[in-house]
Chain A
């Protein structure tokens, strides 16, 4: 166990030109590695390299190296060797690997399935660029797409590429991004003002894709936003970010400041007449603010209460103006699409779910961390080939996707392909990308109760079905986990779940019963064991004395 400040100290070694560098040690400085002591590793490695007089070795601060469970992580870039659980006192392996790098040897990459099965597009700069260095981002083709869009494409052409890419909203809804952009592009306000919002209110528990993108490659999000703004005709943008992510907020603010100074944001973007600037707005801990109308209310300084749609924000959003809202991963995918073309993006994935998706793999799986894969891989490939399966000899029980709006899929669904349609058909959703693996120590009734507890607590209270329904559902589920429920209670759970799903105002309430639906569909026996026999098969619930 170790600890760290929210932001590491800014000590830097003298910059070298690329030609002087024979070997580079990339030290991951994303939140998880920092929490495991990455900043002390960085300082020790700096000292060690300086002390040994290794003038041609570079120690570089980089974003997420993906294998978060094994942090602190250090990669020797030229040989592709990844060092796990590195400590300041034991740097011998890293130093040896650095000294073995020869300039005449070709650059090598890792052969581990955790990495080889991935297809990094959104995360292509992860572990390679320094998230606080604009120069580094630019050297990795950064802001090239923005310059290309502004100087040699019309807004309609940019829109055309995004449409033909088939990109769909990565926040969870899966709405076609090109269509959303086109609606905003066509919309008009009397004063001509349009807004753009990046939704970085990553509220699903168990999801940390957006945090990682903001921490590891913040300029990429800004570039995607600026390209979108050019395509739809917006001049002002906001990033609405969770206050729980202090490191992401600080790196984003740094990125905005230097991008503005370098002319990638501001009144003359890339020396053109196009103006676009970005402000950060902090959330304050409300899950419902991930819903776009609630988010807009919150940006305006109010309670994050949703309102009925239509009108959709694309027609009437922030301050009543046409507003484009996409999430972090969606915007971060845009620069690649502009650089390589919509067709190249559409060639990846499945016909209706194109491109790649970033997942946050966590829970009872050997390798946890950040995973970007082409759409259409099977759950088994993600959980077992990439994730390495369930540790400690336990049995896989379920994979939970989509957070409180999603569901739990059992082992017989492992060969299902992962795309928007398949997941929905199976009773879950793609969601924003949280993927939690559960083994036989998890009780599915308790899991359903956990998510219902989340939703009843986060319900904003504006509409009755959600405010009252989620509380009633939680009480019924609680009764089942205590072994005091009857069969009639289960019928009541099913009826009430349908009412809440059908009658709620916004996505929070409409999807709140999904974990109940999916666990009832695949794990009904577990509910019945609690009710009929007073047994929790997983041994999680404390069944009351009355039943025993």
Chain B
């Protein structure tokens, strides 16, 4: 907080830092941030919920982001999502019941030449097939 400066303009940067540190934005974290930046909690909550990058729910131990950009869409991103839903019973925005995997979608990660793509725990995977992605996801360790 000190590094980013206690200015209201730093709110988004602070939210980024908080989410990076805790994995998601807890109610307490939002309240602390509001107090530190001298902003109403409603404003902090409003910003945190406006941007799709921020999440107020705890995430799974592993995160899979399937890109749904135009190139991935015409190359079968929907087939990847369908296969994950069928096999692991988790839909975009949800976390598996055992807390192992959160499934997210991205608007476009800009690696269109490798479509369809997904990012698993920060690693980008390209020219994916449903079996290839599933075998990677089922191999994730608890």
Contact = CB atoms under 8 A, between A and B. Distances in A.
Nearest to B73: A450
A321 interface: no
B114 A68 contact: yes
A287 interface: yes
B74 A5 contact: no
Nearest to A66: B113
Given A284-B12, A285-B52, A301-B11, A244 B123 contact: no
Q: How large is the interface on B (under 10, 10 to 19, 20 to 34, 35 or more residues)?
A: 35 or more
Contact of A301 (B8, B71, B113, B136): B8
A400 B70 contact: yes
Contacts of B11: 301-302
A1 B127 CA distance: 7
B71 A362 contact: yes
Given A1-B127, A206-B71, A301 B107 contact: no
B137 to A, nearest CB: 13
Interface stretch (A30-38, A117-125, A306-314): A30-38
B1 interface: no
Interface stretch (B43-51, B83-91, B94-102): B43-51
Contacts of A69: 113-114
A278 to B, nearest CB: 15
A245 interface: yes
Interface string A432-449: 001010100110000100
B124 to A, nearest CB: 4
A285 B113 CA distance: 21
A287 B53 CA distance: 12
B80 to A, nearest CB: 12
A35 B114 contact: yes
A462 to B, nearest CB: 11
A82 interface: no
Interface stretch (A145-153, A197-205, A216-224, A524-532): A197-205
B110 A4 contact: no
Given A4-B123, A35-B126, A286 B112 contact: no
B70 A205 contact: yes
B87 to A, nearest CB: 17
B70 A436 contact: yes
Contact of B124 (A31, A243, A368): A31
B115 interface: yes
Name, among A206, A285, A400, A442, the residue most crowded by chain B CB atoms within 10 Å (CB to CB): A206
A414 B125 CA distance: 33
A257 interface: no
B108 interface: yes
Contacts of B110: 31, 202, 207-208, 211, 244-245
Interface of B: 7-13, 15-16, 43, 46-47, 50-54, 68-71, 73-75, 106-115, 117, 120, 122-128, 132, 136
Given A68-B113, A302-B11, A363-B75, 18 more contacts: A2-B125, A5-B122, A36-B126, A68-B111, A205-B68, A205-B70, A205-B107, A207-B110, A243-B16, A281-B13, A285-B51, A299-B9, A301-B7, A301-B8, A301-B11, A301-B13, A362-B115, A434-B112
20 contacts: A1-B136, A3-B120, A4-B123, A202-B110, A205-B69, A207-B110, A208-B108, A243-B16, A244-B108, A244-B109, A283-B53, A284-B16, A284-B53, A284-B54, A285-B53, A286-B51, A298-B12, A360-B112, A364-B74, A436-B71
